[in-house]
Each structure stands twice: as structure tokens, then as C-alpha cells.
Amino acid sequence: MTTPEDIAKLRFLPHPEAERFDSVTVDIAERWKESELSGDEWRFSYVITFWRHGDPIAQVSGPSVEKALIVAAYEFSRIEVEGAKGYMGDLSAYCCQPGCPNPWEVLKHPITRYERYSGANTGPYKPNDVRAFCDRHRDRGDCALDDADRNYIELDATNPFYDKA
């Protein structure tokens, strides 16, 4: 059994290709304007939502889809999220597969750190480093260097915050 105290000692790492937000959506926001002076009309704006593991994290808006997208691209790395647990969010809460909203069921200790683009071996991970995966994403394959089954030791752990039943 893994207790919350055991979990607190671990350092949950993001997926090597994780970005701050894993999904961005655009929605139209319509509003009926009434005015005795200028008349009535439908008005529109566009709301961009930044998502991480299925949670809406932040929103920006603009008067057209194009302008809202330009604002979103500008703000992507600048958005400060009140109450967020660090730049990448609370990594101990989810499977680290980008976009996955599932709670983790498996903890894996990555052995060797490889640079993302060059593939250079940059030394071992720290002993308390882990990546968390749900059951669907527990198999990591044999193609990558860092995020590959051969580069992980699966830990004997259960998620104390997740009741599977």
C-alpha cells in the first residue's frame, strides 16, 4: 500500500514532450444586445480555453476567431495561473500522457535521462523521480529512448487518492 506520505516524497515528472497546455479550444460567445437608442442585435466574441489533462486552466477572448487566436498564441507562455501547482500543474494528480484526464494507476521510475532532440544520455534520474500513468497508457513502447519500457522500473505502488471501484 502506498500512503499519501509516500507519495509526497516522490518527484512527479512531466512526459518528456508535455507542454504547459495540451489542448486549446475556440468557442463562440453570443449575446443579445437591446437598446432603445441604437436598436437590438446579436453580438459575438470568441473565447479560447487552454486545457490541461481535461481541466480548463485559463481563457482569453477576442472579437474574431483570428484575433482571439493571435491573443492565444501570444499568451500561451505568459498566462499565470492562480493556485496552479507549478508551471506544469499538479503532476501527482494525473496520468502524465499529454491530454489524458485519468488518475494514475501505475508509477514508473525513469532510469536514464535522454535529451529530447539529440538523444544524448545526460545521466541518471534522481531516485525519487517518477512518471505516473493510467492503465491505458502504462505501456510505453520500444521506439523512444527516455519514454520507453526499457528505461523504466515499475514501482510497487497504488494511488491512495484514487478509488478504482
Which residues in the 94-123 window bind Zn ion by CB under 5 A?
Answer: 95, 97, 100, 102
Which residues are registered as beta bridge partners of 109? 153
Q: Are 57 and 21 in contact (CB under 8 A)?
A: yes
- Per the CB < 8 A criterion, the answer to whether 48 and 60 are in contact is yes
**Count of beta carbons in the 10 Å neighbourhood of residue 158:** 15
Tell me how far, at minimum, the Cβ of 64 lies from Zn ion, in Å. 35
Q: How far is the CB of 160 from Zn ion (least distance, A)?
A: 18
Q: Which C-beta is closer to Zn ion: that of 91 or that of 134?
A: 134
Whole-angstrom Cα distance, residue 32 to residue 16? Answer: 46
72 counts as binding Zn ion under rule CB under 5 A = no
Which listed residue (89, 134, 152, 157) binds Zn ion by CB under 5 A?
134
Whole-number Å distance between alpha carbons of 120 and 14: 19
How many residues touch Zn ion under the rule CB under 5 A: the total is 6
137 forms part of the interface with Zn ion (CB under 5 A): yes
| Interaction site with Zn ion (CB under 5 A) | 95, 97, 100, 102, 134, 137
